[in-house]
């Protein structure tokens, strides 16, 4: 009898707890209303395209690399790219330092694994600078 009353009290407590929870649904409004387009050259872009009121984020497939060696007197650099990315011979790339464009490169080759040589055609370039398409 004692076990049965304990079981009934536990069941009543569980039912009371379930009955007190409401089925509330939350809808979240966008925090920012984009009127134009914002582009992040590394990770992607956020545009004003909407599908059912939602913002669509589309990745941008741009070539990115880093200068691993620079020779300012001979006006050339060696650019290292992530796996699966490589610049083409003759391609123009831009050098960024601290988010500001500081130079322009023209890929000349040769290529060795994940690195390739490029000539400095404008501005400057140093070891550690970022390179973008």
| Cα–Cα distance measured from residue 48 to residue 29, given in angstroms and rounded to the nearest whole number | 15
Give the model confidence (pLDDT) of 79-109 as tens digits.
999 988 999 999 999 999 998 999 999 999 8
The domain spanning residue 75 has which CATH number? 2.40.10.170
In a domain, 99, yes or no: yes
Q: Which range of residues forms the domain containing residue 85? A: 64-132
In a domain, 7, yes or no: no
Percent residues over pLDDT 70 in the chain = 54
Contact 86, 116 (CB under 8 A): yes
Task: Name the band, by pLDDT with cuts 50, 70 and 90, for residue 40.
Answer: very low
Strand partners, 51: 54
Token code pair at residue 102? 């500081």
- pTM to 2 decimals? 0.56
Give the model confidence (pLDDT) of 51-66 as tens digits.
566 676 666 668 999 9
Overall average pLDDT of the 97-124 stretch: 94
């Amino acid at each position: 009898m004692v076990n049965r009353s304990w079981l009934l009290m536990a069941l009543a407590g569980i039912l009371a707890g379930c009955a007190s929870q409401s089925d509330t649904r939350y809808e979240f409004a966008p925090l920012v209303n984009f009127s134009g387009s914002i582009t992040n050259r590394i990770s992607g872009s956020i545009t004003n395209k909407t599908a059912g009121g939602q913002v669509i984020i589309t990745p941008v497939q741009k070539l990115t690399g880093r200068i691993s060696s620079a020779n300012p007197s001979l006006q050339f650099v060696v650019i290292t790219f992530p796996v699966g990315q490589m610049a083409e011979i003759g391609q123009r790339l831009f050098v960024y330092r601290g988010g500001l464009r500081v130079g322009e490169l023209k890929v000349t080759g040769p290529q060795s694994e994940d690195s390739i040589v490029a000539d400095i055609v404008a501005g400057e370039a140093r070891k550690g600078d970022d390179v973008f398409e």
